[in-house]
């Protein structure tokens, strides 16, 4: 058994304000990486700026991160920084800005390195990364991963052990006004991380325990938020996201994540929903092979109940018709991915094609 996750993570309302001394770094200037609006709208950006001001730091704000950041976007961020030196990179927003921060951090610390290099070498140096999530799902605040879209419009993650955030300030108040579709997509992303971590062939009882608690938190809080939002329920989802991130920082993700990537890149389905569409179909296939998981009964009572729970949340409304060409292309790609090797059940290319056909309208 091996455990390694060096992130100092704080889950608390007003986390940035309450732990000012932790939003600090040696050197003078921070690069702040955000999306267009939510960092400002939620107030997260201003909380960070207030603290940097108190510490006498300077900052540069790159606020152009879009969903599913691509290589071009990362290059744009580096060009924006130009010859200036960033001593820390602070990602504020959903998984996209936090992942972009990690990529910019590594490429800024290794100015002669290429994207190919960062995918090959998980130990390249990086500028310290700080994370301030405004969604509750990707777990990027707890991981050494950054998922980018390459020039061929293919999503894939790179690992860099120096991009585990130095500190993650997880303040659930930033997620209070998140619309239902983003709440649902990010919550089922967290659920999928823990479910996949649990399914992973290398998962031990320590990781399974954390994964089960994480899924329980998502289940119990998500179903209530639709009726009556509250900081307490949002804190539950942030807990689900962080713990699920902790899980995948040890196991990585398995088959459903690699199945979902094509639906996001080619059909625009949000990452969490695209992944979750495959969770129950994959579980059913494993159950048919008599490969079962205790978390299903412990949390839902049965696989059928689990299916009903998510049906009620209308997850299946997000399905699309997947073209035959894409089914062919995605199945080929997924069958060669490392995710399959970490998934029990020996899924073949034919099984994978069948999963796409099952999820397609």
Which residues does residue 91 pair with via DSSP β-bridges, in sequence order?
33, 131
The entry of Zn ion, ligand NAP, none near residue 135 (CB within 5 to 8 angstroms by kind) is ligand NAP
Which residue in 65, 61, 75, 63 sits closest to 31, CA to CA?
A: 61
| Per CB under 5 A, 141 contacts Zn ion | no
| Per CB under 5 A, 196 contacts Zn ion | no
Say whether 91 sits in a helix, a strand or coil: strand
Say whether 348 sits in a helix, a strand or coil: coil
- Among positions 105, 134, 194, 337, the unique one binding ligand NAP when judged by CB under 6 A: 134
Which residues does residue 131 pair with via DSSP β-bridges, in sequence order?
91, 168
| Per CB under 6 A, 177 contacts ligand NAP | yes
Contacts of residue 354, defined as CB under 8 A and 6 or more positions apart, other chains included, come to none
**Chain-centroid distance, C-alpha 358:** 25
Q: Rounded to whole angstroms, how far apart are CA atoms 1 and 314?
A: 38
The entry of ligand NAP, Zn ion, none near residue 28 (CB within 5 to 8 angstroms by kind) is none
Residue 141 in contact with residue 61, Cβ under 8 Å? no
275 CB-side CA count, 13 A = 25
- What is the CA angle 195-201-205, rounded to 5? 70
> Nearer Cβ to ligand NAP, position 171 or 212?
171
Q: Rounded to whole angstroms, how far apart are CA atoms 239 and 90?
A: 21
> Nearer Cβ to ligand NAP, position 4 or 205?
4
Q: Which residue, judged by CB position, is nearest to Zn ion in the bound state? A: 189
Say whether 82 sits in a helix, a strand or coil: coil
The entry of Zn ion, ligand NAP, none near residue 281 (CB within 5 to 8 angstroms by kind) is none
Which residues does residue 136 pair with via DSSP β-bridges, in sequence order?
none
> Nearer Cβ to ligand NAP, position 140 or 258?
140
| Per CB under 6 A, 163 contacts ligand NAP | no
Kind of pairing, strands 145-149 and 155-159? antiparallel
| Per CB under 5 A, 189 contacts Zn ion | yes
User: Smallest distance from the beta carbon of 86 to ligand NAP, in angstroms?
Assistant: 20
Per rule CB under 6 A, count of chain residues that contact ligand NAP: 33
| Per CB under 5 A, 47 contacts Zn ion | no
The entry of ligand NAP, Zn ion, none near residue 143 (CB within 5 to 8 angstroms by kind) is ligand NAP
Residue 148 in contact with residue 99, Cβ under 8 Å? yes
Residue 32 in contact with residue 45, Cβ under 8 Å? yes
> Nearer Cβ to ligand NAP, position 67 or 87?
67
* Kind plus residue range of the DSSP H or E element containing 59: strand 58-65
> Nearer Cβ to ligand NAP, position 62 or 307?
62
> Nearer Cβ to Zn ion, position 247 or 352?
247
Per rule CB under 5 A, count of chain residues that contact Zn ion: 1
| Per CB under 6 A, 38 contacts ligand NAP | yes
> Nearer Cβ to ligand NAP, position 81 or 178?
178
User: Which of positions 318-337 make contact with ligand NAP (CB under 6 A)?
Assistant: none
Binding site for Zn ion (CB under 5 A): 189
Binding site for ligand NAP (CB under 6 A): 35-38, 42, 67-68, 93-97, 99, 134-135, 137-140, 143, 145-147, 174-175, 177-178, 182, 185-186, 189, 271-272
């Amino acid at each position: 058994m091996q455990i390694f996750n060096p992130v100092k993570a704080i889950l608390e309302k007003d986390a940035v304000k309450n732990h000012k001394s932790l939003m600090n770094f040696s050197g003078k200037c921070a690069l702040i990486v955000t999306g267009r609006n939510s960092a400002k709208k939620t107030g997260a950006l201003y909380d960070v700026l207030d603290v940097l001001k108190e510490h006498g730091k300077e900052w540069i704000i790159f606020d152009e991160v879009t969903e599913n950041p691509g290589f071009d976007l990362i290059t744009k961020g580096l060009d924006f920084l130009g010859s200036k030196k960033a001593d820390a990179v602070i990602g504020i927003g959903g998984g996209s800005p936090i992942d972009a921060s990690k990529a910019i951090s590594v490429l800024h610390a290794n100015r002669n390195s290429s994207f190919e290099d960062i995918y090959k070498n998980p130990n390249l140096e990086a500028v310290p990364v700080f994370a301030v999530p405004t969604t509750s799902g990707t777990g990027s605040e707890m991981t050494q991963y950054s998922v980018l879209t390459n020039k061929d419009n293919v999503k894939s993650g790179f690992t860099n052990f120096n991009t585990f955030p130095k500190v993650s300030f997880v303040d659930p108040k930033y997620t209070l006004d998140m619309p239902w579709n983003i709440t649902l997509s990010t919550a089922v992303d967290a659920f999928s991380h823990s479910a996949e971590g649990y399914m992973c062939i290398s998962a031990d009882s320590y990781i399974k325990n954390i994964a089960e608690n994480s899924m329980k938190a998502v289940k119990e809080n998500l179903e209530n938020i639709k009726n009556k939002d509250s900081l307490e329920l949002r804190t539950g989802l942030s807990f689900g996201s962080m713990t699920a991130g902790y899980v995948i920082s040890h196991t990585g993700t398995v088959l459903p994540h690699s199945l979902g990537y094509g639906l996001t890149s080619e059909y625009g389905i949000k990452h969490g929903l695209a992944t979750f569409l495959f969770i129950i179909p994959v579980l059913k296939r494993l159950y048919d092979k008599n490969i079962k998981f205790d978390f299903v009964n412990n949390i839902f009572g049965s696989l059928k109940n689990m299916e009903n729970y998510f049906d009620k949340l209308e997850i299946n409304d997000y399905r699309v018709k997947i073209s035959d060409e894409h089914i062919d292309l995605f199945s080929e790609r997924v069958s060669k991915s490392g995710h399959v090797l970490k998934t029990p059940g020996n899924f073949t290319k034919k099984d994978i094609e069948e999963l796409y056909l099952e999820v397609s309208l």
